[in-house]
Each structure stands twice: as C-alpha cells, then as structure tokens.
Amino acid sequence: MRKVGFLIYPGYQPMGIAVTAPFEIANLQAARPIYDVRMVSMHGGLVRTSLGFEIMTEPIATGHYDLIVVGASLEEPSAELIELIRATPSFCRRIAATCHGAFVLAEAGLLDGRRATTHWDRAADLRAGYPTVKVDEDRIFISDGPIWTSAGMTAGIDLALALIEQDLGVEATRNVARRLLLYHRRSGGQSQFSALLELEGSSDRIQVVLNYARANLTKRLSVGELADIANLSPRQFSRVFQSETGQTPAKAIERLRLEEARRLLEDSNHPLDVVARMTGFGDRDRMRRALTRTFGKSSRVMPRQPHRDAVTESEPV
C-alpha cells in the first residue's frame, strides 16, 4: 500500500483537504486499498486551520512515504517545518505542493533549478523571492522529477489525478474523475485562465448567446445567427456584445474555439483535422494559425510550427 501524507500546519487552508478525495475514490474502486492516506503534522495532535476549526493529525514519521502533499497556509511555516521539508527526499518518493504550498518547498530548497507553478496571484512573488526556481504561472500543475506543484484551489485535484494516473494508468484515473463528477481531467499544460469561464454577459440576452455558442462550437457561427438569438439587429448585437464582454463577437467566439481546441489537443488523441472540425475551424491550417497567433510558436499543444494568418471580422465566427 502506498502511504500518502497530507502535511497540516497552522493556518492550513481547508480547501487542501479536497485533494484527498481522488485517493479515497481510487481505493473504493480497487479490489484492495491502494493508498494509505494520513493527515500528518510536525508533532501530531490538533492543528488549527485558517477557518478556525482544528484537524486531528498524527506525528509525521521518517518511515518511507510514497507521497507527501504540502498545502497552502495563511501563516508562515516554522523553521522546524522547513527543516522537515528539506529532509523529505530522504524518506519520500514524491513530494507535491498545492497553491501557495510551493513557497514552502522553495524555502526548503527543493525547487532550486526546477520548474514549478503556483496560484497566479503569487507567481511574481515566488519568482522574485526564489530566483533559482523556474516559475511558470500559466500551468495547472507541473511535475519536475519527483517534485510536483499545482496552481490554486481546485487545481490540486488535477494534480492528484495526474499522480494517480502515474500509479494506476489512464482508465483507472478516468473512472476516478467520473466518480468526482468532473467534466474532464485537465492536463498540466492547460492555462490557469479560462475564456470559457471568464466570458460572461451582463444581460440575459447576451448570456443566452454565449451559452448557445459554447454548445455549438462545431458550427460556423455568424454574427447574423447570434444576433437572431439575441433578438437584435446585427449592428445592435455587435455593439451590445462588445459593450458587455469587452470583445467583438468574432474575437470572443474564436477564443472559445481556441480554448476548446487546446484542451482537445492536450487531453485527447484526436488528429488535427478532427479537432479542427470539432471546434468549428473547418480545417487544420486555419486552426494552427489561430493557435500560433494566440499562444505563440512555442505553444505546447502544437506538434510543429504553423504559419501566421489574419482573421477578419467579415469571416464566419
């Protein structure tokens, strides 16, 4: 059985406890328990969280762990805790940090020379405070050898699923994700910023249009069609849409297509032609040019460098 320790220390943010759920589900699905999950602290006993309630822990032992997970806290870690983290590679196969927990690993020197991520709002602080760490804030999670880091909050669940996939394979992990009611398991390369989530209209009619677009990305959506759904003329619709979302309809719909294309290229084995059809780009070259324009020639999702192109407002969106 693989021993997993969730390291709890004063000010621990309770959202980190949610990361235990994938390991529990993996145990429930298996013929026998796979993970021995424990809440551990420096000396054991009750540890007060950032919300004021306490978590019962056991003392962390220096016996072998398969994984130790360091969560985020609103309090500075003690020097004693940092020394413990510094020693973990000697008795732990893998070490992970979620959200601001990356700062604990960095202070202990475990991220020196390694790639790492954290919540986007603290990435600049991590880069400034620990210049030897290769910080990439535009990632859901990163693994660099035995050290894993994730972005904030729910990204810790994506990290847990990736760790389980490393242990048990893709199909077992998909089953865990289904049990957790996750729409899809996000890959580590996915951006922390989501146009699918952030793009909203302030009025019902624009929100209806956005919902329709999200559900119909395979279609060659036109401004006229979207205006009809909003019960506005094309001119009125374009003006109201840009006023409420800050983007033209063409740019907004293209960004929704791009994010879905990027997800499919990262999380599936679909050929480029299939992804282009599924996201409404029509052909792979148009999709590749749009991906390059938005994410750059070094985009991780692109198998080879595409050429640049322009998209005009007169084109179908």
Q: Which domains are present in the chain?
A: 2-179 (3.40.50.880), 195-295 (1.10.10.60)
Residue range 203-226, pLDDT digits in tens: 888 888 988 888 898 888 899 999
Which tokens hold the place of 284?
């792979």
**183 pLDDT above the threshold of 60:** no
Residues 57-106 pLDDT 10s: 999 987 899 999 999 999 999 999 999 999 999 999 999 999 999 999 99
Report pTM: 0.65
Nearest to 244 by CA among 198, 279, 278, 200: 200
- Given this model, what pLDDT does residue 313 score? 35
Q: What local confidence, expressed as pLDDT, does residue 297 receive?
A: 54
pLDDT of residue 311: 32
Q: Tell whether the model's pLDDT for residue 308 goes beyond 50.
A: no
